Chain A
Amino acid sequence: MTLKKQLQRAIANIPLFSSGEHLLEISHNAQKLRCQLVALDSLACSFTKLALHADTLAAMSLDQLKRTAEQLSTRLTYLLEPISPIEVDAHGCVVQLRSNPPQKETDRTSYYELLVSRSGELSLCRFSRAPGEQRQIIPSQVTREVLARLAADFSAAAG
Chain B
Amino acid sequence: MRIEHDLSRFKQIVRGKIRQNLRKYVTHGELIGRKGRELVSIPLPQLDVPHFRYGKNGSGGVGQGDGEEGTQLGPGGESPGGAGQAGSDPGAHILEVEVSLEELALILGEELELPRIEPKGKPNIEQKKARYSSVRRSGPESLRHFKRTYMEALRRQISSNTYAPDSPRIVPIRDDKRYRAWTETELPEANAVVIYMMDVSGSMTDDQKEIVRTAAFWLDTWLHSQYRGVETRYIIHDAAAKEVDEETFYHTRESGGTRISSAYKVCVDLIAREFPPTDWNIYCFQFSDGDNWGEDNEKSLELLTDALLPQVNLFCYGQVESPYGSGEYIRSLEHAFGDGVSKLIVAEIENKEAVYPCLKRFLGTGV
Residues of A within 8 A of B259 (CB): 89, 91
Residues of B within 8 A of A131 (CB): 325, 350
Is B276 interfacial (CB 8 A cutoff)? no
B323 touches A89 (CB 8 A): no
Partner of A92, one of B203, B257, B291, B326: B257
Spell out B's residues near A (CB within 8 Å).
Answer: 201-203, 238-240, 255-259, 291, 293, 295, 323-326, 328, 331, 350
A88 touches B324 (CB 8 A): no
With A87-B256, A92-B257 as contacts: A109 and B325 at CB distance below 8 Å:
yes
With A92-B293, A101-B323, A102-B323 as contacts: A87 and B328 at CB distance below 8 Å:
no
Residues of B within 8 A of A90 (CB): 239-240, 256-257
Q: Give complex CA distance A101, B323 in Å.
A: 8
18 extra interface residue pairs, beta carbon distance < 8 Å, beyond A87-B258, A90-B239, A127-B326: A87-B257, A88-B257, A89-B239, A89-B256, A89-B293, A90-B240, A90-B256, A91-B257, A96-B202, A101-B323, A109-B324, A109-B325, A129-B324, A129-B325, A129-B326, A134-B328, A135-B324, A135-B326
Residue of A nearest to B257 (CB): A89
The residue in A89, A102, A134 that gathers the most chain B C-beta atoms within 10 A of its C-beta is A89
Q: Give complex CA distance A83, B295 in Å.
A: 24
In the complex, which residues 56-100 of chain A have their Cβ closer than 8 Å to any Cβ of chain B? 85-92, 94, 96, 98
B331 touches A134 (CB 8 A): yes
Q: Give complex CA distance A102, B321 in Å.
A: 13
Residues of A within 8 A of B323 (CB): 101-102, 104, 109
Is A47 interfacial (CB 8 A cutoff)? no
Partner of A86, one of B202, B328, B350: B202
Residue of B nearest to A108 (CB): B325
Residues of A within 8 A of B240 (CB): 90-91
Is A154 interfacial (CB 8 A cutoff)? no
